[in-house]
Chain A
Amino acid sequence: DQQVKQNSPSLSVQEGRISILNCDYTNSMFDYFLWYKKYPAEGPTFLISISSIKDKNEDGRFTVFLNKSAKHLSLHIVPSQPGDSAVYFCAARDNNDMRFGAGTRLTVKP
């Protein structure tokens, strides 16, 4: 069962514009959410996280928004840069488990 879903397998944006990556989850017990970036042939790299007690967390160009009632989180990258081109995974965890979405491939065009 897919408890964490990233419904867009790919996203293409122009350099300097905003990238918005979305993630939905079904398990209301998840209380911590993370975003990872992955380049080919490398392990995922942690980007940003958010606890369920917050609805927004910002770190430089990256902002994660959490809407608990909708069981939805999103990652905003602004301004997008060509080096941001990678696969982005959202992840959610509770006390027992950690689940990942299938990933969204972001391409930022110069």
Chain B
Amino acid sequence: KAGVTQTPRYLIKTRGQQVTLSCSPISGHRSVSWYQQTPGQGLQFLFEYFSETQRNKGNFPGRFSGRQFSNSRSEMNVSTLELGDSALYLCASSIDSYNEQFFGPGTRLTVL
């Protein structure tokens, strides 16, 4: 069974630009969650999608948004990038919210 895949793996952007990250969950998984990992803040929950609906949302500004498609693939968008958005963005999929999550390798975003 293929694992969670994330594209791209690395990304360099400049302040003010916007970025879209993609996540393909494990086949059969309907829940996709996004996390931001930084050295200072550790792992922080961004949001969770289930069956194309945002189910939960962490404490991030509206510049961070996402969506989920009918095939459970998910995208995360960050607009008006700031230097502090530089981080590793992880996607995790699970059958449902309270099942174990399987993480992808992450997308490392660098904002210059």
Q: Tell me, yes or no, whether A binds B.
A: yes
Q: Which A residues lie at the B interface, using CB under 8 A?
A: 32, 34, 36, 41-46, 49, 89, 91, 93, 95-103
- State how many angstroms separate the Cβ of B65 from the closest Cβ of chain A: 18
Contact A42 B42 (CB under 8 A): no
Chain B residues closer than 8 Å to A99, beta-carbon distance: 45
Q: Which of B40-85 contact A (CB under 8 A)?
A: 42-45, 48, 56, 58
Main secondary structure of the interface of B (DSSP, over half): strand
If A32-B98, A89-B43 touch, whether A98 touches B105 (CB-CB below 8 Å) is no
The residues in B between 92 and 112 inclusive whose CB is less than 8 angstroms from any CB of A are: 92, 97-98, 100-106
Q: Give bound CA distance, A102 to B97, whole Å.
A: 22
**B58 to A46, Cβ gap below 8 A?**
no
Q: How far is the CA of A1 from the CA of B102 in the complex (A)?
A: 26
Interface residue tally for chain B (C-beta within 8 Å): 21
With known contacts A98-B33, A98-B45, A42–B105 Cβ distance under 8 A: yes
Q: A42-B105, A91-B43, A100-B42 are in contact. List 20 more A-B contacts (CB 8 A).
A: A32-B98, A36-B103, A43-B4, A43-B104, A44-B43, A44-B103, A45-B103, A46-B101, A89-B42, A93-B98, A97-B58, A98-B56, A98-B58, A99-B45, A100-B43, A100-B44, A101-B42, A102-B42, A103-B42, A103-B43
- Whether B90 lies near A44 (C-beta < 8 A) is yes
User: Is B92 within 8 A of A34, CB to CB?
Assistant: no
A-B contact pairs, 6 of them (CB 8 A): A44-B90, A46-B101, A96-B56, A97-B45, A97-B58, A98-B33
Chain B: CB-nearest residue to A95: B56
Q: Chain A residues near B100 (CB, 8 Å)?
A: 34, 46, 49
A101 nearest in chain B by CB position: B42
Within the assembled complex, what's the spacing in Å between the Cα atoms of A44 and B100? 12
Contacts of B101 in A (CB 8 A): 34, 46
Q: How far is the CA of A103 from the CA of B92 in the complex (A)?
A: 18
Residues of A within 8 A of B106 (CB): 43
Once the chains bind, are B45 and A100 in contact (CB under 8 Å)?
Answer: yes
